[in-house]
Amino acid sequence: MFSIKESIKYAWEKSKEHMELVLFTTLLILAVGSLTGGFGGNNQNDFSLIGLIAIIFGMIIKIGYNKIFLRIYDGETPKFVDIFKEYKTFWKYLGVSIIYPLVILGGLILIIVPGIIWAVRFSFSSIIVIDTKSGPVAAMKESYAITKGSFWEILLFWITMMLLNILGLIFFGIGLIISIPISVMAYVYVYRKLTKEKAGLIENPSSLIA
């Protein structure tokens, strides 16, 4: 089982270790995020053309950003340019980005509780797509599998990450330069811990007997 405290500590240490890369990639993410949020105002043509291009570009670098943190966890030494190299995963990532909120919305419409449960159980779908290049449905199935028995821990983790980023916003948004990479690195840490735990259970079937 993972520790939220350890995930944050690990994220902080790794962010410091790769400070320059983390800083510049995070600034790019924030800059593009601000750019995409600036469209949709006066000129409809600007929104439909430039805005759409900016949104697509934003998704591609978001994929690359997450991939960089996966590689850091795996002991590799990624470079800034790597944030642009994951464009081939775009369509699968787009698919899971559409399906995931629709599933959550469906659960919330039903009785609210299923929506919260599904939000937690499927919350690693996007990182699985980025990591394994799985399709959206396969990634969601895998996310559901690795989160089995860890609902409350993962829910508390996401609440902690949300509070961390709110804290980052309070400091005039500057704190996001710190809180965003820590959140993503902690997310990767928890994801890897869950996948390793699942692999351990498969290797030792007797541990499933309780």
Among 47, 140, 146, 46, residue whose Cα is nearest residue 98: 140
pLDDT digits (tens, 9 = 90+) for 98-139: 999 999 988 888 777 888 999 999 999 999 999 999 999 999
In a domain, 56, yes or no: yes
φ and ψ at residue 124, rounded to 5 degrees: -105, 10
Parent domain of 144? 4-205
In a domain, 210, yes or no: no
Determine what percent of the chain is predicted with pLDDT higher than 70: 90
The pTM (predicted TM-score) of the whole model is 0.87
Mind listing the pLDDT tens digit for each residue in 128-173? 999 999 999 999 999 999 999 999 999 999 999 999 999 998 876 7
- Give the span between the Cα atoms of 70 and 131, in whole angstroms: 7
Question: Number of structural domains, the chain?
Answer: 1
Q: Note the residue count of the chain.
A: 210
Residue 121 lies in a domain: yes
| Contact of 12 with 182, CB cutoff 8 Å | yes
Is residue 175 assigned to a domain? yes
Residue-wise pLDDT for 51-61, tens only, equals 788 889 999 99
11 lies in some domain: yes
Spatial CA neighbour of 144 closest among 130, 131, 128, 160: 128
Tell whether 160 is covered by a domain.
yes
